Amino acid sequence: MKTKQSLFVLNALALTIVGANAQQQKPNIIYIMSDDHAVQAISAYGHPVGKVAPTPNIDRIANDGILFNGSYCGNSISGPSRAAVITGKHSHANGFKENNGVQFNSKQITLPKILQQNGYATAMIGKWHLGSKPTGFDHWMMLNDQGEYYNPQFITPNDTTVHKGYATDLITDYSIDWIEQQRNAEKPFFIMVHHKAPHRSWLPAPRHYYTFENTEFPIPETLFDDYSTRTRAAQEQMMTIDKHMFLGYDLKLADTVGSKNWINDGIAPNFSNMTPDEKIAYQAAYQRTNDEFNKNKPTGKELVKWKYQRYMRDYCATIAAVDDNIGRLLDYLEKAGLDENTVVIYSSDQGFYLGEHGWYDKRFMYEESMRMPLMMKFPKSIKPRQQTNALVQNIDYAPTILDFCGIEKPKEMHGVSFKQVAENGKPKTWRKSLYYRYYEYRKWIHYVMPHIGVKQERYKLIAFHSPENEVYWELYDLKKDPQEINNIFGKKGTAKITANLKSEMKSLAEMYNDTLPECVAKQL
């Protein structure tokens, strides 16, 4: 005969088992982010660049789930985008508006903290880039600042240590190790896998030195854009392939035929953290094409084209290593039996220019830098081979992940969950506009004027504002002008469109409790 005490113990044990099973039924979450990975360089999106430099393993996520064609950031620069992802808030609300001289306020509510408090094992491995130490994670290993491609330093709560190997491979090694060995297996897990690649200065892994050596990348129609149809904002100094891409640091060019002395034309060539043998192999990989350049000495537009091709070969070669490692991670999940109950998300911190308008940076609200790659898979509820044009933003990532985990989002989050979009398609009531605001100005050679804008499916309105409180308006019809070459602001027939977008800008600013610059507010 069981005593009351023994029955109590049995009931408590049963409740514990039920609770543990409920925890295990919650989905695992893997959020993979690369740095500066343009939509154009992912073959799932069908861009000409992706066709000559395919990404079959990244494409697996899209093929097994959903590809977002309308994914955008709210501030196209690394740190602010990362802050938006983990807080679900625009830059003015999370406090991280610029990359330089800012430290993330880690006391605020963030996605990992909420998941940790709701029974998740949490980890972050790779590039953090928020000026503070990660919080809300049971385990973290972050690259020191931007991180190095070769033999990078990893910072942990205990030490800062150089780790031998290639950063993209190491980040994946440590991520798989945590999932397999270090996490609490009784809990569902959340891990942020943050790659450095393909950030400048695009140092490929040795196995990919020659992957695109003979590839001719399609030249963008706007490579030689003169910005004559836009405002002063687009005409200011910006990171152009022609004027600002360093022959030594960026393009690994030697000074003469047969030379191993790379040109130092502003920034020293980056051999930091390389072993002597790695440096020799690295330089040798560029010897033949460097000698060809120095024999022919292209000038003018031919020089720009040469720089573009060298840039693209290295940029896509670093992505090839990311693709390899995403394949490794997906294969591991399948072999470990974790793939069915794991949400896998792939994104970047913003878009990037691959020669469009002559640029190789981000920051602007134009499509190439505002648009982000985004795809996700979850076999339990997301059907394979889907695509959506629904407008989503990086402030939505945290609410969406919480929704998949059955956790209500905090009211202070600006973003909305797109779980329903992923599972059932875009609802009729889905948002029609996105809000954008960029702050950083005249930092080194990043002369992109601060601006505020509204993005809709067809139209985009941008208000650039100068230190002199001048406002430069730009309006684009993305259906007729997808490359955003023709600013139609103030043109005949656009008054109603402009008035509607200005009204929407004011409404969104109010909805997000953002204070607009007086020079812009006066014109709304």
Q: What is the pLDDT of residues 346-393, one digit of tens each?
A: 999 999 999 999 999 999 999 999 999 999 999 999 999 999 999 999
What is the DSSP track for 375-405? EEE-TTT--SSEEE---EEGGGHHHHHHHHT
Does the pLDDT at position 521 exceed 90? yes
CATH code that applies to domain 436-521: 3.30.1120.10
Of 120, 121, 124, the C-alpha closest to 171 is 124
Distance, C-alpha 30 to centroid of its chain: 15
Which residues are CB-neighbours of 440 under 8 A, at least 6 positions away? 77, 97, 98, 99, 100, 363, 446, 448, 450
pLDDT of residue 444: 64
Which residues are CB-neighbours of 111 under 8 A, at least 6 positions away? 85, 86, 87, 88, 136, 397, 398, 401, 402
pLDDT band, very low/low/confident/very high, at 468 (cuts 50, 70, 90): very high
- Residue that is written with structure tokens 């000409």 in the block: 48
Q: What is the arithmetic mean of pLDDT over 136-165?
A: 96
Does the pLDDT at position 15 exceed 70? no
Of 108, 150, 114, the C-alpha closest to 130 is 108
The domain locations on the chain are: 28-202+318-430, 231-310, 436-521
Q: How far from 314 is each of 50, 261, 400, CA to CA, in Å?
A: 14, 19, 34
Cut 0.85: pTM above it: yes
Predicted confidence (pLDDT) per residue in 225-281, tens digit: 999 989 988 888 778 999 989 999 999 999 999 998 889 887 877 787 999 999 999
**Interior CA angle at 234 toward 230 and 235, to 5°?**
95
Which residues are CB-neighbours of 337 under 8 A, at least 6 positions away? none
Q: What is the arithmetic mean of pLDDT over 166-187?
A: 95
CATH class for the domain made up of 28-202+318-430: alpha beta
Q: What is the arithmetic mean of pLDDT over 413-421?
A: 98
Pair of tokens at residue 495: 């008054």
